[in-house]
Amino acid sequence: MNQLQTADYIVFFVYFIAVSSYGYYIYHKKKSKDLSSKDFFLAEGSLTWWAIGASLIASNISAEHFIGMSGSGFALGLAIASYEWMSAATLIIVAVFIIPVYLKNKIFTMPQFLSRRYNDKVSTIMAVFWLLVYVFVNLTSIIYLGALAISSISTISFEWSIVGLSVFSMIVTLGGMKVIGYTDVIQVLVLIFGGLITTYLALSLLSQEYGFGQDIFKGLSILRNEAPEHFHMIFDPSDKYYKELPGLSVLIGGMLINNLAYWGCNQYIVQRALGADLNTARKGILFAAFLKLLVPVIAVLPGIVMYVLHNKGLFQAEMSQAGVIKPDHAYPTLMNLLPPGLKGIAFAALTAAIVASLAGKANSISTIFSLDIYKKYFNRNASDQKMVRVGRWAVAISMTIAAIVTPSLKSLDQAYQFIQEYVGFISPGVLAIFLLGFYWKKTTAAAAMTGALITIPLSTVLKFLPVWTDGAFPDYPFLDRMGIDFVVIVILMVAISLLRPQKDLDQNTIEVDTSMFKVSTGFAIGSLLIMGILTALYTVFW
């Protein structure tokens, strides 16, 4: 039944008050009049490692995970977990080889890096591009999927869900990165706890349906027996889902490019660590990597459970629309089975995931606009107080625009893999520009501009050329297309840099030395533990 009971509203109200009150307390620990721009945008030096790690995950996990990834779990199984588990490995790479470069060179925004390493033209083009993507793609898709999920498990309308999510997110964001970072700790606790409860219920329900009582371990055993095809991490070319997750590309190919661009070159993610010292930042990122290992448990397993139950003849109507099976209905259907009170916790978990992601993206929009557009081109002498005001206006305006645009997405059939594919149109170019900028001093501004301009056209050609040539050109899986894009862009950038060297290149170098990549013993042990867990998971579920 799509209705919240009194107990659910009480639970949700407690969550709302807890987050709002804690945010208000954190905000007033440093009076508004003393709030500097670095405090507002980066919470410089005030976020602990556990706050950084929690904020990374809270900003990353959203409705696309609970709804979209669970739907992919229903359709193709545990293999979709590679996006999460390989992210854990990627976070270690970012902590060792990328974050030190930003911190050593006092980089606070991604456009700032591009400006220092290349020139203002490259920086401004990418800044405008990121702002447009964040507002019209990221914010709108999160609000859309969130509103869709909330309206499907409650009596709150789609339109009022949009308003509620937007306003709640603005309240959190206007306090700045410090408030976001520490309230994200609560958000992560709620989303993980609520997600685990939903998974527990799903496995208990499965065990019960097969006559074993509420034994979740029996439920796991039933899953393996009833859906063995849903427990393979690596697909071979003969599998019908190979195009979505093409074999070893999920380990060493396009997925690595996708993850490195997301976790290492993305303002919305990297910003959490830019205000900390290197040791604290690395601890926070390692903590986030451990949390990433948990995400498939709360996002993928429920989808596989619903697949088995659906095959048994249950929830046929709930999982269908106009006679067509809709995998993305798996998680909302499961949530509607929760008893009063527990449904409120799951509802709060879903809201926490959505609000935290919206707040993180809105803060990044505010940071890029204020530091890389407003201060650079409109008011070079703006005071800290002025920058904070501009940042808050940027939050309010961007969230309002996104909320207005969101209803137009109702005609789209959003899915996790769809989002991943089209984000992948830009990731190869972004990663090539950043990696060559970090580690190859001869990379020129002209080469960077070429990489920025060619990534979308190249991705488009590779995607649609098989159609245009009536199948004469190979129809590569999108992760493989990302790998091809990346290699082609790197080759072009290297060739341009060598053929037309830049005379004043010494002025644009970024300081990098091998001592930056040394890690503490604790970090090394934690990293080895994560890699050991990943090796075991891929060995068992290969």
pLDDT tier for residue 415 given thresholds of 50, 70 and 90? very low
348 vs 148: CA distance, rounded Å: 15
CB atoms within 10 A of CB 526: 20
pLDDT in tens, 322-338: 666 777 778 877 877 77
477 vs 244: CA distance, rounded Å: 6
The SS3 of residue 94 is helix
pLDDT in tens, 135-185: 887 888 888 878 877 887 778 888 898 998 888 888 777 766 666 767 777
Burial category of 93 from C-beta neighbours within 10 Å (exposed 0-12, middle 13-18, buried 19 and up): middle
143 vs 141: CA distance, rounded Å: 6
The percentage of the chain sitting over the pLDDT mark of 90, rounded to a whole number, equals: 20
pLDDT tops 90 at residue 489: yes
Q: How many residues does the chain have?
A: 542
The SS3 of residue 377 is helix
pLDDT tier for residue 498 given thresholds of 50, 70 and 90? very high
pLDDT in tens, 200-215: 888 998 888 888 888 8
Cβ-contact 202, 388 below 8 angstroms: no
118 vs 213: CA distance, rounded Å: 63
Cα–chain center distance at 479: 17
* Mean pLDDT of the region 291-311: 89
Maximum alpha-carbon separation in the chain: 76
For residue 204, what is the enclosing H or E element? helix 177-209
Higher pLDDT, 194 or 530: 530
Q: CA nearest 200: which of 183, 217, 178? A: 217
169 vs 164: CA distance, rounded Å: 8
Higher pLDDT, 528 or 502: 528
What's 65's DSSP letter?
Answer: I
541 vs 231: CA distance, rounded Å: 6
Q: Position of tokens 């201060």? A: 375
Higher pLDDT, 479 or 290: 290
Instruction: Give the range with max mean pLDDT: 239-243, 270-274, 354-358, 366-370.
Output: 366-370
The SS3 of residue 499 is helix
pLDDT tops 70 at residue 385: yes
Cβ-contact 483, 427 below 8 angstroms: no
Q: Position of tokens 């427990």? A: 231
523 vs 533: CA distance, rounded Å: 15
pLDDT tier for residue 414 given thresholds of 50, 70 and 90? very low
Cβ-contact 442, 280 below 8 angstroms: no
pLDDT tier for residue 504 given thresholds of 50, 70 and 90? confident
pLDDT value, residue 263: 92
* Mean pLDDT of the region 273-278: 84
Q: CA nearest 493: which of 524, 456, 531, 453? A: 453
Domains of the chain are 6-18+47-423 (1.20.1730.10), 426-511 (no CATH)
* Residue 283, both tokens: 């601890």
* Mean pLDDT of the region 465-474: 76
Higher pLDDT, 214 or 44: 214
* Mean pLDDT of the region 439-466: 88
